Amino acid sequence: MLNKEQKKIYISEMTTQFDSTEAVIVTHYQGLNVTQLDDLRKKMREHGIKFKITNNRITKLALEKTKCKDLKNLFKGPTAVALSEDAITSAKILTKFAKENENLKILGGIMGSDILDVAGVQNVATLPSLEEARAKIVGILSSPAQKIASILLAPASKIAILALEKSKK
């Protein structure tokens, strides 16, 4: 049980975290054991994502003053939140973990200023990560350059082959 001072500190910390993060995903974790929760937290930490079990009543108080106030209705039962700057990575990790562990239920979240339901979070999870998107763009941009180079080089190589063939005769 938290005393009054601890509750104030908790509300202040959560308010700051909700306002300063780009993405918040709310989950139910009932039925997960300590090992599974630790495994999920470890995966999240590797990508700079905080996965935090919440005190619903106090968290709702913290939400009132933030951009995430529309998520208040999701805080019922055993709730945990993923707080991150990269919504795609956190959605991917949680969606994959939920498929492997049926006791983790994704309830919804917020990305920027957009409220997401369960389907929205799953759609975000299918998007390419920032690194994947960059790699695709580089591939697209370098492809025309390679084609131009092969077109420009092809006639010279054909001329060289023809000259070689003529010299053999």
Provide the pLDDT for residue 156: 58
CATH fold, domain 4-127, is: Alpha-Beta Plaits (3.30.70)
Provide the pLDDT for residue 169: 65
Provide the pLDDT for residue 162: 55
- To the question of pTM greater than 0.85 for the whole model, the response is no
Distance CA 51, CA 56 (A): 15
Provide the pLDDT for residue 50: 92
Q: Is 107 left (phi over 0), alpha (psi -120 to 50) or beta?
A: alpha
Task: For residue 50, give the 3-state DSSP assignment.
Answer: strand
**Is the Cα dihedral 119, 58, 14, 38 positive or negative?**
negative
Provide the pLDDT for residue 168: 73
DSSP result, 109-137: EEETTEEE-HHHHHHHHHSPPHHHHHHHH
Break the chain into its structural domains and give their ranges. 4-127, 128-169
Look up residue 25 and give its two tokens. 């995903």
Q: Divide the 169 residues of the chain into consecutive groups of 10 and give the mean pLDDT of each group.
A: 83 88 91 91 91 89 85 90 89 91 90 85 81 77 66 61 67
Give the list of residues 6+ apart from residue 89 with CB closer than 8 angstroms, or none. Answer: 47, 49, 129
